[in-house]
Amino acid sequence: MDDGGWRPVKRTRTFEDVLAQIERRIAEDGLTAGDRLPAERQLAEQLGVSRSSVREAMRVLESLGVVSSQVGRGPDAGAVLTSRPDTALTDLLRLHLGMAGLELREVIDARHMIEQWAASHAASAGAGTAALAAAVSGMDGARTAEEFVEHDTAFHCAIADASGNRLIAAIMRSLRDSMRRYAVEAVEHLGDTAILRAGHVRILRAIEAGDADEAARAVSEHLAHAYPSLFDH
């Protein structure tokens, strides 16, 4: 097993080099969302690589929610830096769930963790209750499970937003998006949404009152009602 001091030649693919240089430029020049990257052809010439390699790097950046490409001409055309971690996270979770690389139970546990945290922090912050109330009344008017889940998602994402942490809010949104299908099933299986709606009201009241502990408790019991089969441990 001795390699005699030799180590494998680092095989760096061209597009990875391009990625690294773009990332370096972002850090050194302090680029942020809204700034433009050079055009593909120009970047290819400057870096001495083919346009294909630049494009593959762009696809990676785009899939990670860092750039957005616009065709045409003008100030808004070309590769523009964005900050969309949530769409990237959603794709990531959906793909890994589809491949059975992750189990639904793990996603729901993560959601449980985040919602408890977000609810107690939202209660401490005491902001954003208007969006919560709107989502609650939206659920009252829902006629189908899909509609209900739609507003339910809005409610729970509003809690995460109210916590003030964009990363955690992005994770929350991605978890909800990738679980949408299962959430609809769960609501249909439950039949009656009265218990869920009561849980939402309780959470809302706790956040409005600024009671962090009560908010966390309310979230925990709410999720236990929504997914009874997954809380038998």
At its nearest, how many Å lie between DNA and the CB of residue 109?
35
Q: Taking contact as CB under 7 A, which single stretch among the options 49-57, 140-148, 159-167, 203-211 is the one that binds DNA?
A: 49-57
How far is the C-alpha of 220 from the C-alpha of 125, rounded, in Å?
19
Map residue 83 onto helix, strand or coil.
coil
- The nearer residue to a copy of itself, 120 or 193, going by C-beta atoms, is 120
Angle at 161 between CA 111 and CA 123, to 5 degrees: 85
89 binds, among DNA, a copy of itself, none (CB under 5 to 8 A by kind): a copy of itself
Q: Which stretch binds DNA (CB under 7 A): 32-40, 100-108, 167-175, 223-231?
A: 32-40
**Minimum distance, C-beta of residue 43 to DNA, in the bound complex (Å):** 8
Chosen from a copy of itself, DNA, none, partner binding at 148 (C-beta under 5 to 8 Å by type): none
Q: How far is the CB of 210 from DNA (least distance, A)?
A: 46
Q: Rule CB under 7 A: is residue 32 a binding residue for DNA?
A: no
Task: Confirm if 226 and 111 have CB atoms less than 8 A apart.
Answer: no
- The CA–CA distances, whole Å, from 86 to 127, 156, 201, 227 equal 22, 15, 27, 24
> Is the CB of residue 202 less than 8 Å from the CB of residue 117?
no
Residue with tokens 């829902």: 142
Shortest distance, CB of residue 119 to a copy of itself, whole angstroms?
Answer: 12
